[in-house]
């Protein structure tokens, strides 16, 4: 009897120990699973956090690059493209090339006239109003065309701080904004080179005699009361029996305008039988010099204001 009881106790203890061992094993396994799940969860969270932080870091790097670029390119020059959308011309690209090749710390932004918002131009150091295949003289009988250029006309009238250089159509647009009559030739003249003489040199054109590229049909006559009231006439020409204002600047504002094209063309566009290669090269170089002088005057003006 006693032995039976001992055996039963041994079996019970053994069974209890086995159950305890099994329970311990189960508990240990569950603990390992929980630990693994916790590790996996933490790993996933870490991975997700890294994924979230990666774009942030990348964005920060992009912002740093922008800051670096803005530090390098201190000054912004805007080109207002007055040509119709899709119009084939190398003149806008020519402006961009001349400006981008300058040693000045400038960035260049071209804005089509149809997208112009004068309120968004406050950070520009200078603006260039390009030529066009349109004619300002058409405004007198085409109010729809005039309306399309109203933002640019408002810019010309209201902007007093940012220097502006008008070229050909831009030159005539400046005159029109101030109530100056835009005249019309009997027929247009295309891509010629003429020589003009300045009444006096200034910060933009520093040579008395220069060769310039002209291509226009509209023009401004120097015999106009509004012109004389608002602008100084620095150069005129007697071209094709017309008396034409070639260069003028506003009496009070940093507003300059030229009838000719200082940007000329990329390639040797002019007919070799009409113009000597040296004259063409001289015209191009003098035109580039005018654009560069305008930009340097814009930079000087901005720096002078900062110092004051």
Which among 46, 72, 98 is the end of a domain?
72
State the total domains in the chain.
2
Phi, psi of 36 (to 5 degrees): -60, -45
Residues 67 and 103 in one domain: no
Residues 152, 263, 288, 292: which is the catalytic one?
263
Helices assigned H by DSSP within 73-142: 91-100
Q: What is the dihedral of CA 116, 147, 150, 233, to 10 degrees?
A: 120
DSSP line for 37-65: HHHHHHHHHHHHHHHHHHHHHHHHHHHHH
Residue of 152, 171, 216, 261 marked catalytic: 261
68/85 same-domain check = no
Tens of pLDDT along the chain (308 residues) come to 445 454 555 555 544 544 444 344 334 434 433 443 344 344 434 433 444 444 555 555 545 554 444 445 689 999 999 999 988 889 999 999 999 999 889 999 999 999 999 888 989 999 999 999 999 999 999 999 999 999 999 999 999 999 999 999 999 999 999 999 999 998 766 778 999 999 999 999 999 999 999 999 999 999 999 999 999 999 999 988 899 999 999 999 999 999 999 999 876 676 666 678 888 889 999 999 999 999 999 999 999 877 76
Which residue range is the domain that position 115 belongs to? 76-307
Its pTM stands at 0.75
Question: Is 263 tagged catalytic?
Answer: yes
- 65 and 92 co-located in one domain: no
Going by C-beta distance under 8 Å and a sequence separation of 6 or more, which residues neighbour residue 299?
75, 104, 106, 125
Query: Tokens standing for 36?
Result: 């693994």
Are 154 and 33 part of one and the same domain? no
Between CA 83 and CA 134 the distance in angstroms is 7
Q: Are residues 152 and 51 in the same domain?
A: no
Q: Which of 164, 170, 159, 176 is nearest to 224 (CA)?
A: 176
Q: Which of 26, 47, 72 is the last residue of a domain?
A: 72
Q: Which of 168, 171, 216, 265 is catalytic?
A: 168
Q: Are residues 191 and 299 in the same domain?
A: yes
Whether 19 and 145 map to the same domain: the answer is no
């Amino acid at each position: 009897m006693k032995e039976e009881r001992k055996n039963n106790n041994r079996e019970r203890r053994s069974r209890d120990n086995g159950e305890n061992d099994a329970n311990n094993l189960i508990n240990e396994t569950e603990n390992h699973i929980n630990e693994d799940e916790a590790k996996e969860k933490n790993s996933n969270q870490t991975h997700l956090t890294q994924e979230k932080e990666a774009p942030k870091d990348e964005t920060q790097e992009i912002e740093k690059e922008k800051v670096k670029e803005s530090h390098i390119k201190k000054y912004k020059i805007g080109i207002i493209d007055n040509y119709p959308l899709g119009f084939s011309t190398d003149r806008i690209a020519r402006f961009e090339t001349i400006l981008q090749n300058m040693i000045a710390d400038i960035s260049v932004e071209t804005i089509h006239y149809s997208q112009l918002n004068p309120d968004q131009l406050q950070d520009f150091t200078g603006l260039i109003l390009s030529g066009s295949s349109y004619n300002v003289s058409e405004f007198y009988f085409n109010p729809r065309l005039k309306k399309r250029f109203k933002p640019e006309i408002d810019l010309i009238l209201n902007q007093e701080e940012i220097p502006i250089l008008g070229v050909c159509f831009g030159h005539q647009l400046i005159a029109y904004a101030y109530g100056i009559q835009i005249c019309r030739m009997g027929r247009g003249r295309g891509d010629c080179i003429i020589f003009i003489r300045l009444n006096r040199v200034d910060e933009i054109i520093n040579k008395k005699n220069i060769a310039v590229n002209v291509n226009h049909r509209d023009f401004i006559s120097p015999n106009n009361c509004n012109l004389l009231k608002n602008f100084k006439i620095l150069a005129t020409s007697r071209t094709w029996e017309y008396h034409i204002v070639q260069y003028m600047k506003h009496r009070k504002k940093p507003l300059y305008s030229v009838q000719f094209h200082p940007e000329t063309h990329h390639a040797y566009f002019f007919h070799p039988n009409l113009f000597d290669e040296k004259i063409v090269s001289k015209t191009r170089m003098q035109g580039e010099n005018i654009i560069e002088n305008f930009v340097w005057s814009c930079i000087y003006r901005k720096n002078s204001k900062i110092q004051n």
